[in-house]
C-alpha cells in the first residue's frame, strides 16, 4: 500500500474519533448491497408475467407476418408463372412462323436449331408448371370428402398410354379415404408416371396395393425397373433432382407427391436397390 493511500485512510479514520460511528454507514451499505443481490437473483412475479405476455404477443405478430408473407409468396409465384409463360408461348409462335414463312430458305441445320429452340422452351414451360404445382398444391382450398382410391387409381392408370409390354395392375382392393380428388389424383398420377419413366423397356410390371396398418393405410407402388441407389433415397424427393437426364420431366413429380402426402399428415419413402426395381410406400390416415 503506498504512502499516499495510507495517509488518506489514516485521515479518514482520524475524522471518525470513534470507529463505532462508522458502523451504521457500513450496515446501510451492506443491506442495500444484499437487496441489490436479491433483486438480481429472483425476478419478481409481475416482471416474469410481463415478459411472458410480451413474448406471446411477439410470437403472434411474427406468425401473422409469416402468414401474410406466405400468402404474398403464393400469389407471387402464381403471377410470376403466368407472366413467364406468356413470352414462352410467344417464342414458340414466332419460331413456328419463321419455320413456315421461310421454309424454302432454311436448310436442315437452321430447321434443327429452330426445333431446339422449341424443345428448350417446352422444357422451361414444364418447369414453370412444375414449380406452380409444387408451390400451390398444399394451399388450394377444397373440402375433404370420401374418396374411393381404387376407383381413382384405375382412372389414373387409364390416363397413361403405355406400350403393350408394360403392365400396371392393382394387387388388392384400395380403400376409401378422406381427401379430395384433385390432390389424390395428382399423387397417384405422379407416382405412376415415375414408375413408368424408370421401368424396364421390356416386360415392365407396376403393381399398386395397400396394407392395413391400424390407424393408417399403407399404399405401395412397386416397379421392376432400374431401381434407385440407396444414396439417393432421400434426394429423389427434393425438387428438381432427377436421376436421369434422358427422362423428359421437370424432376418435381416426387416432391409434389411428398407434399401431398405431408398435407394429409402421412409419410412417404422408398425401398430399392439398383437394377432391382423400386417400391414407393406412402401412408394416408383412415377415414
Partner 1 sequence: MTKPLSILLVEDDQIEIMKFNKTVASLSIKCDIKEANNGEEALQLLLLKDQLPDIILLDLNLPKVNGLEFLKIIKNNTSLKHIPIIILTTSDSYKDKKECFKMGVAGYMTKPLKYEDYISKITKTLFYWNESELISA
Q: Which residues bind partner 1 (CB under 8 A)?
A: 78, 81-83, 85-86, 88-90, 92-94, 96, 121-122, 125, 129, 132, 136, 140, 142, 182
Decide: helix, strand or coil at residue 43: coil
What does the DSSP 8-state code read for residue 216?
E
CB of 77 to partner 1, least distance (A): 10
What does the DSSP 8-state code read for residue 199?
S
CB of 81 to partner 1, least distance (A): 8
Closer Cβ to partner 1, 125 or 189, answer by number: 125
Closer Cβ to partner 1, 75 or 165, answer by number: 75
Whole-number Å distance between alpha carbons of 41 and 47: 13
Closer Cβ to partner 1, 47 or 75, answer by number: 75
**Residue 226 half-sphere exposure toward CB, CA atoms < 13 A:** 9
Contact 237, 253 (CB under 8 A): no
Closer Cβ to partner 1, 28 or 159, answer by number: 159
Closer Cβ to partner 1, 19 or 103, answer by number: 103
Cell triple for residue 274? Answer: 439398383
Whole-number Å distance between alpha carbons of 277 and 287: 31
CB of 71 to partner 1, least distance (A): 12
CB of 267 to partner 1, least distance (A): 25
Place of cell 401474410: 68
Q: What share of the chain is helix, strand, coil (3-state, %, to 5)?
A: 60, 15, 25
CB of 88 to partner 1, least distance (A): 7
Amino acid at each position: 500500500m503506498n504512502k499516499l493511500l495510507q495517509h488518506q485512510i489514516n485521515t479518514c479514520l482520524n475524522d471518525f474519533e470513534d470507529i463505532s460511528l462508522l458502523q451504521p454507514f457500513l450496515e446501510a451499505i451492506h443491506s442495500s448491497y444484499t437487496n441489490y443481490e436479491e433483486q438480481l437473483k429472483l425476478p419478481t412475479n409481475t416482471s416474469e408475467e410481463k415478459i411472458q405476455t410480451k413474448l406471446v404477443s411477439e410470437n403472434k405478430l411474427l406468425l401473422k407476418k409469416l402468414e401474410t408473407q406466405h400468402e404474398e409468396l403464393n400469389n407471387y409465384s402464381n403471377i410470376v408463372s403466368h407472366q413467364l409463360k406468356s413470352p414462352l408461348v410467344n417464342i414458340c409462335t414466332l419460331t413456328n412462323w419463321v419455320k413456315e414463312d421461310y421454309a424454302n430458305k432454311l436448310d436442315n441445320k437452321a430447321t434443327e436449331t429452330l426445333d431446339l429452340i422449341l424443345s428448350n422452351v417446352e422444357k422451361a414451360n414444364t418447369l414453370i408448371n412444375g414449380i406452380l404445382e409444387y408451390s400451390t398444391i398444399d394451399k388450394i382450398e377444397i373440402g375433404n370428402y370420401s374418396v374411393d382410391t381404387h376407383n381413382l387409381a384405375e382412372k389414373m392408370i387409364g390416363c397413361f398410354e403405355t406400350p403393350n409390354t408394360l403392365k400396371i395392375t392393382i394387387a388388392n382392393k384400395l380403400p376409401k379415404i378422406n381427401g379430395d380428388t384433385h390432390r389424390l389424383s395428382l399423387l397417384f398420377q405422379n407416382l405412376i408416371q415415375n414408375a413408368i419413366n424408370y421401368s424396364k423397356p421390356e416386360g415392365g410390371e407396376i403393381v399398386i396395393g395397400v396394407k392395413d396398418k391400424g390407424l393408417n393405410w399403407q399404399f405401395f407402388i412397386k416397379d421392376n425397373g432400374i431401381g434407385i441407389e440407396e444414396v439417393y433415397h432421400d434426394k429423389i424427393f427434393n425438387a428438381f433432382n432427377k436421376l436421369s437426364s434422358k427422362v423428359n420431366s421437370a424432376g418435381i413429380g416426387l416432391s409434389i407427391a411428398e407434399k401431398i402426402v405431408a398435407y394429409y399428415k402421412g409419410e412417404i419413402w422408398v425401398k430399392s436397390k439398383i437394377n432391382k426395381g423400386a417400391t414407393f410406400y406412402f401412408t394416408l390416415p383412415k377415414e
